[in-house]
Amino acid sequence: MPTITIDGKELTVEKGKTIIQAADEAGIDIPRYCYHPGLSIVGQCRICLVEVEKMPKLQVACYTPVMDGMVVHTQSERARKGRKDVLEFLLVNHPIDCPVCDQAGECFLQDYYMKFGLYDSKMLEDKNKKSKAVPIGKHIVLDSERCILCTRCIRFCDEVSKTNELGIFHRGDHAELLPYPGKTVDNPYSVNVVDICPVGALTEKDFRFRTRVWYLDETNSVCTGCSTGCNIEVHTNKKREYKNEGRRVTRLKPRFNKDVNEYWICDEGRYSFTYVDAADRLGVVMKRVKGELQESTWAEVMPEVLTALQSAKENNKRIAVLGSPKMTNEDLFALKKFASQTLGVSQMPVTVLPKEKPFSDDFLIREDKNPNTKGAGYLGYDTDHKATRKLLDDCASGGVELLIIFHHDLEAGFETELVKSALSGAKTVVFVGSNANTTSARATYILPSCTYVEKEGTFTNFAGRVQKINRAIEPLGDSLPEWTIIRNLSRKIGKALAYFEAEDVFKDLTKNTAAFSGMSYSAIGDGGLVAEENGKLKQGDAKAAAQKTETATA
């Protein structure tokens, strides 16, 4: 392995790596526009110029491979001048409209100007005019004047989404990024081009003019759009709530995880958060009075639900539970424990397959649109759709006294007739969920639960990777995490569950479920851990996770 020196720091680097990759590993900051670790290297923006001893010209750090004995200076006068010159060139035709640009605050031009530029411009000429505010896709707006032609977006469409929509047209300083004639950037991963755009050329329609980025808080989380479990950052605006039209989550951004989604997320997942503050969001406890659902309180409803459970138990009537793969491992474990220990429920289905097969591909988008089906399986739930049908059949035939349903909109997966007769077959239907649907509309009680951005917990993705979600915003209204609702029930009936926070549930879970044994929140970290049916962590996985946490914090 070659040994090189960057700014006096001696590094041993894997052969074939380039200077910028070596510097990144060593925590030495070299600026970049066109270089992106998830894309091919083109070396065309030239901002990463560094001085390499024994080489007459400045070299681009992104493209130049390391060689044994190489001595690199990133802060020498020549290197600094080279970068400053490139930055000045980039701004020659740039409109410098930061005050009205959505990228301001997370713009590489601004950042590097403050770091490497700080010159008085000698540019006195008129700037070139190019197209502004062009909608180039369903979610994307292009401002060509701000574009620095780094081609990151082009390479994304060529190499990652493989949809080839974008190109550079014309030559010289008249060159412009545009979609090819007749094309729009509407692939399932299109908005990633906005994430990787280092400047304000590509902006997201949904985010444009919504808020300044410095008002945003970031919380690490996991996308719940499907079973891939892409790592995300939830950006919330608590400092200027009025700026977001009542929406508490401003946007989702992909978060790097080399084992899951690398740098990307799909558009479907990116906009999957809208249910958090949607009109159908359940924030109030409800109960049916004279056939009508009416607002109520936990204090009023909990004793009634408990009485119903108690009477069913005492009269040896059957209680049935339909869990949901949208619940966290913690929710599912608490439910399982409570249902089997206290309610005597043994069969616990979770799956409702939609009538039509949803879109999926061989990259990130999976057919299973639930974040935790795998976890439900590990925790002993029956993940077969047929098990749910059987449960509904039992209800329809009058065999069930009390039915507790989590989240599901049953009509999405079953015939309306069956759903109707099943829900009217049970004497009491308790619906626990975050959003209203045709099932909640027929429930006796509605217990509002938190969405994934309002609580803590873990999901197990399709590959068995257990990943952590964190609380980004306060729960809406009366809503509570599902495990808390179950815990509260358990305090009045049967054996009380001694949980005070999600981590308590998880600790109990790891002790009692082979697949999760040995795990902890701190070991899961930001990168996740792979659960195994036999209960052993994949070799080296814990170590890798620990390292990743370190780099993430660095």
Query: Would you tell me which residues interact with another protein (CB under 8 A)?
Result: 41-47, 49, 56-58, 63, 82, 85-86, 88-90, 92-93, 122-126, 128, 148-149, 167-168, 170-175
Residue 42 Cβ vs another protein, minimum distance, rounded to whole Å: 7
346-368 as b/e, with b when 16 or more CB fall inside 10 Å? eebbbbbbeeeeeebeeebbbeb
Q: Contact 430/447 with Cβ under 8 angstroms?
A: yes
The smaller minimum CB distance to another protein, of residues 170 and 495, is found at: 170
Chain center to CA of 42: 29
Residue 117 Cβ vs another protein, minimum distance, rounded to whole Å: 13
The smaller minimum CB distance to another protein, of residues 124 and 554, is found at: 124
Helix/strand/coil for 508:
helix
Enclosing H/E stretch for 405: strand 402-406
The smaller minimum CB distance to another protein, of residues 164 and 470, is found at: 164
The smaller minimum CB distance to another protein, of residues 44 and 549, is found at: 44
Residue 36 Cβ vs another protein, minimum distance, rounded to whole Å: 16
Cα gap 23→70, rounded to integer Å: 13
Residue 13 Cβ vs another protein, minimum distance, rounded to whole Å: 18
Cα gap 437→279, rounded to integer Å: 11
Residue 89 Cβ vs another protein, minimum distance, rounded to whole Å: 4
The smaller minimum CB distance to another protein, of residues 175 and 387, is found at: 175
Q: How far is CA 304 from CA 262, 290, 307, 364, 401, in A?
A: 48, 15, 5, 44, 15
Residue 552 Cβ vs another protein, minimum distance, rounded to whole Å: 31
The smaller minimum CB distance to another protein, of residues 127 and 318, is found at: 127
The smaller minimum CB distance to another protein, of residues 43 and 399, is found at: 43
Q: Contact 475/483 with Cβ under 8 angstroms?
A: no
Q: Contact 509/257 with Cβ under 8 angstroms?
A: no
Residue 87 Cβ vs another protein, minimum distance, rounded to whole Å: 9
DSSP string across 99-152:
GG-TTTTS-HHHHHIIIII-------SPPPP---SEE-SSSEEE-GGG-----H
Q: How far apart are the first and last CA of the chain?
A: 25
Residue 124 Cβ vs another protein, minimum distance, rounded to whole Å: 7
Q: Would you put residue 514 in left (φ > 0), alpha (ψ -120 to 50) or beta?
A: alpha
Q: Contact 326/371 with Cβ under 8 angstroms?
A: yes
Q: Contact 184/140 with Cβ under 8 angstroms?
A: no
Residue 512 Cβ vs another protein, minimum distance, rounded to whole Å: 56
139-166 as b/e, with b when 16 or more CB fall inside 10 Å? bbbbbbbbbbbbbbbbbbbbebbebebb
Residue 144 Cβ vs another protein, minimum distance, rounded to whole Å: 12
Q: Would you put residue 9 in left (φ > 0), alpha (ψ -120 to 50) or beta?
A: beta
Cα gap 335→350, rounded to integer Å: 12
Residue 165 Cβ vs another protein, minimum distance, rounded to whole Å: 15
Q: Which of 422, 365, 366 is nearest to 389 (CA)?
A: 422
Six-digit token string for 374: 């795998």
Residue 202 Cβ vs another protein, minimum distance, rounded to whole Å: 18
Can you name the residues that pair with 465 across neighbouring β-strands? 530
